[in-house]
Structure 1
Amino acid sequence: MREIDGPPMREIDGRGFWDRVAFAAWRSAGRLVEPAAALLLRERERRGKEEGERLAERRGIPGRKRPAGPLVWVHAASVGETNAVLALISAMQEEGLGILLTTGTVTSAKIARARLKGNAIHQYVPLDVPRYCARFVRHWRPGLAIFVESELWPVAMDELSRHGVPLVVVNGRMSPRSFRRWRQSGPLGRSIMRRISLCLAQTGDDAARFKALGMDKVMVSGNLKFDAPEPSAPAAELAAFRETIEGRPVFLGASLHPGEDEQVLAAAEKLRAVRPDLLTILAPRHPERAPALADLCRNAGLTPALRSAGDMPDMTKPVFIADTIGEMGLWYRLADVTFLGGTLIPHGGQNPIEPAKLAVPVLHGPHTANFAEIFAALRAADAVGEVNGADDLAAQAEALFANPEHRRQRVDAATHCIQSLTGALQRSFDALRPYLPVKPAVTRTGEAG
């Protein structure tokens, strides 16, 4: 693992006049907005972005008792970060450590409930308000905090610093756009970076940006997503779908965002003109968009089937809307060709590692900044295809459908590329080990010594 050279490591104690001024101003602002927090949370609940029965957790009020023993707080923003860090969580559990995982979205909470094992607890992360964060840290008393990728919350980080809790960023990512914003934040940004004990960055470019922002200890560990297991699929469900599909060609639009639906559906109709038995699976990034997606299909003269309604694909319904959470492993395994969403619009793309691991050839649009180095490696290996719009998508997808050997070559290239980039899990755990809380010694009588 490579360490990025920089100035000697500083103590994370908030020293310096501008450091204190910056954080005092930020905390004061947080106190001022606290009265509006309840209204914000209720509005988010109305839009399906919060669980009503767990809103108190967003105010730092615990929904569970703290378990006995050393505890590591792991924070992951949403689904991608959660999936990336699960293997690291398992490694820490094998060391006998308790785990508190926080996330900020309803979708990631459902993933956490389904996939966390053993003594791990899930809570929603508190809003970055002084009273909420202080309440949260006082109750859970973590011995170590781990923030995943680019989740940097000033008040929470300051609260950890006040309690002497080391903070490590794992799978650290800093896009050029985020870097410019942090550079503009002045003393506050530098103060935030000084509260991080160690940053394990995905790439050399990410590490250089973190270092330029004033972070002391930065290492390049690689991307944990390469080491994450592929999404699973229940064997019975997979067998039932394969029996129902009965050898039909399957085109998957995965993790679609608004602005892409029409283009993918238009490409699918072009493909269906050549392959009348084509089944198109549309998996929106946010399942709550399914009604709008169904209306789009009906307006195009197509009758959709919906996973959430318990439908199964049939010949009278050429489009199947996969509007559930945690089932991408099923849809990738059924697909012959996949278009990966978030790439035909300026979103920055979604993670191409999962479909690559599940042996389905991937097509994507030009907007891949969120996973630039991964896409670049896959393109260099001729493992993916870039498309521009519906016509190009239809043409390249048909070329893959028509040539099984070409599909196999793409899949093999992607598999070899991904395998060559693994190893971040072990490197990250080795770097974390000195920061892990120490379990209390046990005497012969079984009491902590």
Structure 2
Amino acid sequence: MSERWARAVLNTYRLAGAAVFPLIGTYVGWRASRGKEDRLRRRERYGRASKPRPPGPIIWVHAASVGETNAIVPLVRRILDYGVNVVLTTGTVTSAQVADEVLGDSVIHQYVPLDLKPAVSRFLDHWEPDLAIIAESEIWPMTILELGERRVPQVLVNGRLSDRSYRSWKKRAFLAEALFENLAHVVAQSELDGERFQSLGARPVTVSGNLKVDVTPPEADEAALSALRDQIGKRPTWAAISTHDGEEKVAAEVHLALLRARHPELLTIVVPRHPERAAAIEAEIAAMGLKTARRSSGDRITPETDVLVGDTIGEMGLYLRLTEIAFVGRSLTAEGGQNPLEPAMLETAVLAGRNVQNFRDSYQRLIDSGGARLVRDRDMLTGAVNYLLCNEAARRDMISAAAATVGDMRGALARTLKALDPFIHPLVVKSRLDGTNGMRGR
């Protein structure tokens, strides 16, 4: 009965998607007007390829946004080293920019098609992938079903299920099983994630650890870094990174409290998760009587500057190298948390709110080692930043503990490649027999 019900629900989803497809252009156009879609490439969202398919085997790799894209870059590079072509899809403009910066023409980049049958079918008809690798938690029913019907192996890597997602799927267990049975393998981030996928019907499931641990720490332009350090001088600094709505105001309030305490020369660095919010953030902070410098405008940091607003893409490595204390957002006024591993890699003491469910395993390891601390609210954050600014030894201990923890967590890439080998190896053999050896070999 549940199997028949799942089939009926998914068939309804398929038909509804086909019905609304002719009308979806208005929605995509609206998103493009807000900068959420690439105006020049929005046809790709309908599955219309902007590039020809190269000969030989192709692996389709999908990463939704910036974090997932950065996480799978080392994996993509290893696949390219095997001589197999990669079509990389992402879902956001910023992740497309990151892909272009770090991978360039070594991959074929396309925006992921909308999860509607006409778009997905058109995409698959053109690219004819031999393997689909999906990063983290991108579960798109129509895409999974279409790949399943074409007998294309699908592997979920760096897989995770947040508390909210798991509860949602658990309520629809019959639907989850109908979808997850199409996955040839799930490579989960943690034991908890693995157990959750198994309980929803995924088989087989292995645990790799977090691919984000095996990435190279974000780099920084040396000239820009040197210039900013000269402007800051010996002023004490702290950063609030990957912030969401409400957390920038908290950071500004922390700044004001610390100014009145023992740190009259303090510089606060605010790096919003979504840079397009920078103008509103700047206005909000200015309304509190604080002076800002905006990175995208090229503003200089003067002795009067209170807050540097880091509203540029791809410069997290720059901002983190300007401080030794980093609060990681989406954890106080929003839920789920953001990745704490980048600041841990770049020698900062890590602070966050208590809502870090999406990165539970990483935070737990950092907390257990003394490399991170969770704060309850603004006042507790103020106290934690003040303590770390005043106590160099404690700050250094946290930094060392965080770095050591990251070192202990490495190895996810090797374990993921081992799980993928049965799927990739036949494609490597086929590529060599056909005389096609991937884009790097041309």
Normalised TM-score (structure 1): 0.93
Once the two structures are superposed, the pairs formed by residues 80-119 of structure 1 within 5 Å of their partners are 80-119=67-106
Aligned partners of 2:188 and 2:240: how far apart in 1? 30
**Structure-1 residue corresponding to 2:346:** 358
**Structure-2 residue corresponding to 1:438:** 428
**Structure-2 residue corresponding to 1:269:** 256
Distance 1:403 1:186, change over 3 A: closer
Normalised TM-score (structure 2): 0.94
Query: What is the root-mean-square deviation of aligned Cα atoms in Å?
Result: 1.7
Q: Counterpart of 1:104 in structure 2: which amino acid?
A: G
Q: Is the 8 A contact 1:22 1:187 kept in 2?
A: no
Matched, 1:213 2:200: yes
Q: Is the 8 A contact 2:47 2:122 kept in 1?
A: yes
Q: Is the 8 A contact 2:57 2:431 kept in 1?
A: no
Q: Is the 8 A contact 1:249 1:336 kept in 2?
A: no
**How far 1:441 sits from its partner (Å)?**
6.0
**Structure-1 residue corresponding to 2:63:** 76
Match of 1:328 among 298, 302, 316: 316
**How far 1:68 sits from its partner (Å)?**
2.3
**How far 1:119 sits from its partner (Å)?**
2.3
**Structure-2 residue corresponding to 1:296:** 284
Aligned partners of 2:329 and 2:173: how far apart in 1? 35
Q: Is the 8 A contact 1:361 1:411 kept in 2?
A: yes
Aligned partners of 1:65 and 1:185: how far apart in 2? 39
Matched, 1:373 2:361: yes
Once the two structures are superposed, the pairs formed by residues 182-261 of structure 1 within 5 Å of their partners are 182-261=169-248
Matched, 1:39 2:26: yes
Q: Is the 8 A contact 2:249 2:285 kept in 1?
A: no
Aligned partners of 1:202 and 1:54: how far apart in 2? 33
Q: Counterpart of 1:257 in structure 2: which amino acid?
A: H
**How far 1:365 sits from its partner (Å)?**
0.9
Q: Counterpart of 2:28 in structure 1: which amino acid?
A: L
**How far 1:180 sits from its partner (Å)?**
1.9
Aligned partners of 2:400 and 2:157: how far apart in 1? 29
Matched, 1:305 2:293: yes
Aligned partners of 2:175 and 2:365: how far apart in 1? 36
Give per-residue Cα distances to partners, 1:274-304, cap 9 Å, x unaligned: 2222111111110011111111121111221
**Structure-1 residue corresponding to 2:161:** 174
Aligned partners of 1:400 and 1:447: how far apart in 2? 56
Which stretch shifts more, 117-126 or 331-340? 117-126
Q: Counterpart of 2:330 in structure 1: which amino acid?
A: G
Aligned partners of 1:189 and 1:366: how far apart in 2? 29
Give the structure with the larger helix fraction: 2
**How far 1:251 sits from its partner (Å)?**
1.4
Which stretch shifts more, 23-32 or 189-198? 23-32
**Structure-2 residue corresponding to 1:400:** 388
**How far 1:240 sits from its partner (Å)?**
1.4
Q: Counterpart of 1:94 in structure 2: which amino acid?
A: D
**How far 1:143 sits from its partner (Å)?**
1.0
Once the two structures are superposed, the pairs formed by residues 392-431 of structure 1 within 5 Å of their partners are 392-431=380-419
Which stretch shifts more, 325-334 or 158-167? 158-167
Aligned partners of 1:264 and 1:33: how far apart in 2? 43
How high is the sequence identity, in percent, across the aligned residues? 41
Aligned partners of 1:131 and 1:447: how far apart in 2? 30
Aligned partners of 2:432 and 2:421: how far apart in 1? 20
Distance 1:67 1:388, change over 3 A: same
Structure 1 gaps, min length 5: 1-15
Distance 1:314 1:92, change over 3 A: same
Which stretch shifts more, 16-25 or 370-379? 16-25
Q: Is the 8 A contact 1:365 1:388 kept in 2?
A: yes
4+ runs deviating over 6 angstroms: 445-448
Distance 1:81 1:447, change over 3 A: closer
**How far 1:17 sits from its partner (Å)?**
5.0
**How far 1:169 sits from its partner (Å)?**
0.3
Aligned partners of 2:277 and 2:48: how far apart in 1? 31
